[in-house]
Amino acid sequence: MFLSFSGITALIANGVYDSAYPLHDVSLLYQAWARYSVLYKYQPIDLIRKYFGEEIGLYFAWLGLYTELLIPASLVGIIVFLYGCATIDNDIPSVEMCDEKNNFTMCPLCDKSCDYWNLSNACSTARASHLFDNPGTVFFSIFMAVWATVFLACWKRRQMRLTYKWDLTVLEEEEVINYCFIIVFLEQADNDKLTWKDRVPGYLGNFVSILFMIGLTFSAVFGVIIYRISVEAAMALSTNENTKSNIRVTVTTTAVIINLLVILILDEIYGAVATWLTEMEVPKTEKIFEERLILKAFLLKFVNSYASIFYVAFFKGRFAGRPGQYVYVFNNFRMEECAPGGCLMELCIQLSIIMLGKQLIQNNLFEIGVPRMKKLYRKLKDKRAEPEELTNSTPTRQAQQWDQDYKLEPYTGLTPEYMEMIIQFGFVTLFVASFPLAPLFALLNNIIEIRLDAKKFVAELRRADAVRAKDIGIWYIILSGMGKFSVIINAFVIAVTSDFIPRLVYQYMYSDDGSMHGFVNHTLSYFNVSEFQQGTNPQSVQFINVKVCRYKDYREPPWSEDAYDYSKEYWAILAARLAFVIIFQNLVMFLSEVVDWLIPGTPKDISVRIKKEKTLLDDVFLKKEDEKLQLIKSFLKPNQRQKPKVANGMATSSWHCFHINCTLLRK
């Protein structure tokens, strides 16, 4: 089928016009919405919709509801954090770890240059870990999983109410031809349509490019791992005691900052790459283009943002080996292990720095600084392009609105805005077991983000074309998927990364009095120092006559027949971890189903109104059809309105057909 393109879109595609946009008139909207002085007020959603259209109106309505529901999540997160602070002195394992009388001599953290050390040196790490690794964390994880379901259910209701209010319930979306498709079509005007041969190179290029980008992300994470291992080994050789005592803090902090910078840079690259890859596919309509772009950008940015966090949560320290049989990278560097207090504290540091860094840098640099720099550059470029006589002459007229708007940044869609919030939603839900304060920081960010976006839309960007939409599209599917994925992730964080399950198993299976006394000793295995590999044993001066050192694992002692094999405690804890994951997931899924049942997608008052309107429309339709039927009967003669007594098959069939149609019309 031949498609004909006309109007301003084709003219822009042909280069006749540079751009086309509606003009700004933002005095009222700016005063009511785009100022920081109105932070405490609700957004004028109806006014936003009238000015920008339903698509942008729905985005800000969604962002407002998300920010509003972060308030209860933040309060519960603060309570859980305060609970950890209040019970830190009563936590028996951390008290035992800080007690110097226990005198646990630990195995070296690196080969040769590292010495034995006392477990009490990790006192501060153990106490800090309790702030985020306590029984309240499990409750908070369940709460946040249910919270995600409540948020989606509330948004469905809010969306339905806005759809009804804005008269979008029967909206049929128009398929707007994609700009890239227009250009390719104009270049191939002799063909009726693009064939599969035209699209295959784009699809193959997409697949290979996405795999390459994912591999690039993993390479960056691996590079940071090598940085940590090498710097930690180099600092261990230092003769400065302060340097040695702060090795883990220094290495962890600098590595996370490097990781953050890499994530920010790759995010910008991946956004441009996703657009380019989608254009290679030449989607026919704007809707298909947007959906494919969103899926590619989300996949790349999801991997980029969370790859390092997944590593710390589930892989760090799992494949390091044991004393005497450590795993090495490039045959020189020992695989890194978790801190003595566990990996959950490092996961908290990793998550908090990346989350807060992305919010602060993206808000202040990318969303404020970069658009203003582009605006200034465009202004200087336009001045240089003007003829000298016009530059030196006195202006004869005031700058028109279209001239002022032309200097603004072009509107490129809502994908970057949604993407930023979706990634933040992942930080709030996916690993919330390790950082209960994540909802609080997200709330504080979003309060400013709403007004920042408002000011950007009315003062920094050209006015967007009004687009009608009755939902947020594919973003709801992504949110729903992340909500379900967060249940699995938090279950494994609690079961695998934290010490919640080992503590529970010890208290009810191995403790003599049902308390946590002796838990630290229970988690430490023994190693005969004479079995160190040649050249890896420490050159100790402080620790003399050490025959056995301890390390955190569940293995048989060296004097056992099955020396260094996994002990029965290890298998009991592993079984308990798997059981916890299954119970946690089923419990949360059950609660989510209950929430879905309690909060229907359509409000009852809206449902009643829709039924009434449908009944009225049916009555009007039947009345009109009845009038048509009476009109048809009035044109028929009396003998024609009677059923023929004897007729051939064709006449009888025609009469029955007419009778059935009239009956259906009456119904």
For residue 391 the two structure tokens come to 């530059």
pTM of the model: 0.83
Backbone dihedral angles phi then psi of residue 479, each to the nearest 5 degrees: -60, -45
Q: Quote the DSSP letter at residue 102.
A: S
Percentage of residues in the chain having pLDDT higher than 70: 84
Residues 386-415: tens digit of each pLDDT: 555 544 555 555 667 777 878 888 888 888
| Cβ-proximal residues to 405 (8 Å cutoff; 6+ apart), any chain | 21, 23, 24, 462, 463
- pLDDT at res. 155: 93
- pLDDT at res. 525: 92
- pLDDT at res. 243: 67
Residues 17-28: tens digit of each pLDDT: 878 888 888 778
Helix axis angle for 604-635 and 649-666, nearest 10°, is 140
Taking alpha carbons only, the member of 523, 500, 526, 516 closest to residue 570 is: 523
In this prediction, residues 197-205 reach a mean pLDDT of 72
Q: How confident is the model at residue 67 (pLDDT cuts 50, 70, 90)?
A: very high
Are 323 and 110 within 8 A, CB to CB? no
Neighbour tally for 554: CB within 10 Å: 18
Q: How confident is the model at residue 639 (pLDDT cuts 50, 70, 90)?
A: low
Residues 477-526: tens digit of each pLDDT: 999 999 889 889 989 988 888 888 999 999 999 888 888 888 888 989 99
- pLDDT at res. 187: 52
Residue 80 has pLDDT above 60, yes or no: yes
- pLDDT at res. 646: 45
Rounded CA gap, 408 and 499, in Å?
54
514 sits in the region (left: phi over 0; alpha: psi -120 to 50; else beta) called left
Q: How confident is the model at residue 580 (pLDDT cuts 50, 70, 90)?
A: very high
554 vs 371, residue with greater confidence: 554
In this prediction, residues 99-104 reach a mean pLDDT of 78
In this prediction, residues 241-261 reach a mean pLDDT of 79
Q: Per DSSP, which regions of 306-385 are E strands?
A: 321-322, 325-326, 328-329, 333-334
Name the least confident of 11-15, 495-499, 576-580: 11-15
Rounded CA gap, 32 and 39, in Å?
10
- pLDDT at res. 633: 74
Residue 119 has pLDDT above 90, yes or no: no
239 vs 52, residue with greater confidence: 52
Average pLDDT, the chain: 81
Q: How confident is the model at residue 359 (pLDDT cuts 50, 70, 90)?
A: confident
- pLDDT at res. 5: 42
Percentage of residues in the chain having pLDDT higher than 90: 21
The DSSP code sequence of 563-623 is TTSBPHHHHHHHHHHHHHHHHHHHHHHHHHHHHHHHS-SS-HHHHHHHHHHHHHHHHHHHH
Residues 263-304: tens digit of each pLDDT: 988 988 998 888 888 887 777 777 888 888 899 999 999 999
Residue 667 has pLDDT above 50, yes or no: no
Residue 150 has pLDDT above 70, yes or no: yes
Rounded CA gap, 347 and 438, in Å?
13
In this prediction, residues 231-252 reach a mean pLDDT of 73
Q: How confident is the model at residue 57 (pLDDT cuts 50, 70, 90)?
A: very high
Q: Quote the DSSP letter at residue 641.
A: S
| Cβ-proximal residues to 607 (8 Å cutoff; 6+ apart), any chain | none
- pLDDT at res. 177: 57
Kind of pairing, strands 105-106 and 321-322?
unpaired
41 burial (CB, 10 Å; 0-12 / 13-18 / 19+) is: exposed
Rounded CA gap, 552 and 529, in Å?
15
In this prediction, residues 432-459 reach a mean pLDDT of 89
Taking alpha carbons only, the member of 275, 357, 243 closest to residue 308 is: 357
Rounded CA gap, 607 and 613, in Å?
10
Taking alpha carbons only, the member of 317, 349, 347, 348 closest to residue 334 is: 317
Residue 528 has pLDDT above 80, yes or no: yes
Residues 29-55: tens digit of each pLDDT: 888 888 888 888 888 999 999 989 899
Rounded CA gap, 379 and 377, in Å?
5
Q: Quote the DSSP letter at residue 134.
A: S
- 3-state SS of 440-493 is HHHHHHHHHHHHHHHHHHHHHECCCCCCCCCCCCHHHHHHHHHHHHHHHHHHHH
Q: How confident is the model at residue 234 (pLDDT cuts 50, 70, 90)?
A: confident
| Cβ-proximal residues to 321 (8 Å cutoff; 6+ apart), any chain | 327, 335
Residues 585-618: tens digit of each pLDDT: 899 889 888 888 888 878 888 888 888 888 888 7
- pLDDT at res. 285: 75
For residue 220 the two structure tokens come to 């960056």
- pLDDT at res. 531: 86
Residue 656 has pLDDT above 70, yes or no: no
Residue 91 has pLDDT above 50, yes or no: yes
